[in-house]
Amino acid sequence: KSFNFFHNLMGKYGLLKKYDNHLDIGGAEGFIGFLCIKNQIVNNSKSIDPLHVEESSLKRELIYYFFVLKNIITKVISKQRFIGKNGFVIKSDIFNNLKLFPRFKSIRISKENVFNLKEKYDLITSIGSLEYFKPEEILEKIYKLLNSQGICYINVSYAWFLMFFKKKQDLGNIASLL
């Protein structure tokens, strides 16, 4: 679901173009980077997470193909599966349009500290992990890691998290980082 939100939002604003270097902060097993590669959004992806992750590219591939095949079968069996909670058709969702034979390219999984990174990135994503950082520090670091035309996508668990962490007069400084 997180990748679907990301894909829909990026598509809505015309940002689904080809990015060269991608960084996923707090990416655990690297599924966001993996799906970005499979859908040809990025050429190279690096997923960093300080926690030890049992990373297996074979397992990731098997999960992907199981999901794609299940979608194909349910499309044939049930036309109703496209109808959402309130009767809206959701045929455009990326999970209904995943490729059966996408290109195979691995991603890099790392336990590096984000604050030690020096590389520049065209796309930086962080899904559900920003609340583990001090907001001013991580947003400043993300800004430094982005290329001049880079895009940053942040999805936080709590809608209020970035809005209420500091006094009102300091919000302008943080907003200018984005």
Q: How confident is the model at residue 97 (pLDDT cuts 50, 70, 90)?
A: low
**How far apart (Å, rounded) are the C-alpha atoms in residues 174 and 178?**
7
Whether the Cβ atoms of residue 130 and residue 28 lie closer than 8 Å to each other: no
Of 163 and 125, which is predicted with more confidence? 125
Per-residue pLDDT at 149 exceeds 80:
yes
**pLDDT (mean) for 14-39:** 85
> What pLDDT does residue 164 have?
46
How far apart CA 71 and CA 67 sit, in angstroms, is 6
- Compute the average pLDDT of residues 142-157: 87
* pTM > 0.75: no
SS3 state of residue 131? helix
Instruction: Count CB-CB contacts under 10 A for residue 58.
Output: 7
Selection from 23-37, 63-77, 147-161 with the highest mean pLDDT? 23-37
27 neighbors 155 (Cβ within 8 angstroms): no
Q: What pLDDT is recorded for position 167?
A: 39
Measured N-to-C along each axis, helices 31-38 and 57-77 cross at an angle, to the nearest 10 degrees, of: 60
Sort strands 146-155 and 42-48 into parallel, antiparallel or unpaired.
Answer: unpaired
Q: Which residue has the higher pLDDT, 55 or 132?
A: 132
Residue 101 is predicted with a pLDDT of: 66
107/120 Cα distance (integer angstroms):
17
Residue 90 phi, psi dihedral angles, 5° rounding: -120, 40
Angle between helices 31-38 and 2-12 (to 10 degrees): 50
7-11, 78-82, 124-128, 135-139: the lowest-pLDDT one: 78-82
Token readout for 157 is 């668990």
